[in-house]
Amino acid sequence: MTRLAEIHLDISEAKPSLNFYVDRLGMRLMAVEQLPGGEDTLYTLSFKTGACLKLRRRDKKEQRLQGYQPRAEDVYWKIGITVLDVDLAWKRLKASGIQVSDPQQFFDIGYLCHLDDPDGYCIELLQHKFKSNFKPRLPEESEPLGSRPNLGQVSLDVSSIENSLAFYRDQIGLNLLSHQPVPDRSFSLWFLGQEDLQPPSDAVEAIENREWLWALPETTLELRAFDNPQPLRRPHPPLSELGFRGIGFSRAGAVPNRLQDPDGVELWLS
């Protein structure tokens, strides 16, 4: 069984990133390690469920960089954090001084809002239930967002959904869980996860699979495919830039390996 286990991002400074992810979002700092060569420090964070977020900071002062600059042609898009109550999370983030968009029901996809981390990486907060199906609960005061969050998705743009599905489903061993067309925005969303996950409906476009997906305690891979895809920038930022470094998968009995997907995303398999 293959599961998505790690997401790797560069950061410019440790303190603001750790304050944001730990104090504002409720992640736990699991490990701090000096990478070989002594030039980088890797911070591993996680919620109680889902994949780990690995943040890499360069220790040489002359190499420290300012902010991630997202581009329309980037392969990397965002991470999604799922919560029981988006409105409550939104209120708490706003009260702490963080800029966050107003929550909205995005078509028949989900109830959500967006914010950026201190380096400019996009984060989507996604509610387990659609706005019309939501029933308020008492907040969990130990959680900064008011309910227990999960790192629900890492989202990538793809140049060919056929090639990407063949790679992640047939070679990596993920299961296609949901296909969500968004014709008004000229793209479709495809979600893949570990093989033992079984959606309520066998029809991958079924609406009932979506709320089930947002409540999963696992991290899924979200692929966005535009109707008229444009060439994508290779996801390997030079040493002069911050950026997305890749994703890691765990598989029982796997020989550690490094791969690249059809769009050049680096993968660690262990």
pLDDT digits (tens, 9 = 90+) for 96-113: 999 999 999 999 999 999
Q: State yes or no: pLDDT of 81 exceeds 80.
A: yes
pLDDT on residue 236: 85
What average pLDDT does range 30-49 have in this prediction? 92
pLDDT on residue 11: 96
The amino acid occupying position 218 is E
pLDDT on residue 240: 81
CA 72/CA 142 separation, integer angstroms: 37
| The CATH classification of domain 76-226, taken from the options 3.10.180.10, 3.30.70.1110, 3.10.450.50, 3.40.50.2300 | 3.10.180.10
pTM (2 decimals)? 0.96
As a whole-number percent, the residues of the chain with pLDDT over 90 amount to 86
CA within 13 Å, CB half, 51: 28
What average pLDDT does range 153-171 have in this prediction? 97
Sort 86 into a burial class: Cβ within 10 Å, 0-12 / 13-18 / 19+.
Answer: buried
pLDDT on residue 39: 79
Where do the structural domains in the chain lie, given as residue ranges?
2-65+240-269, 76-226
Domain 2-65+240-269 matches domain 76-226 at the CATH topology level: yes
Q: What is the DSSP string of 140-182?
A: -TTSTTSS--EEEEEEEE-S-HHHHHIIIIIII--EEEEEEEE
pLDDT digits (tens, 9 = 90+) for 125-152: 999 999 999 999 999 999 999 999 999 9
Q: State yes or no: pLDDT of 62 exceeds 80.
A: no
CATH architecture of 2-65+240-269: Roll (3.10)
Residues in the chain: 270
- Paired with 56 in beta bridges are 10, 42
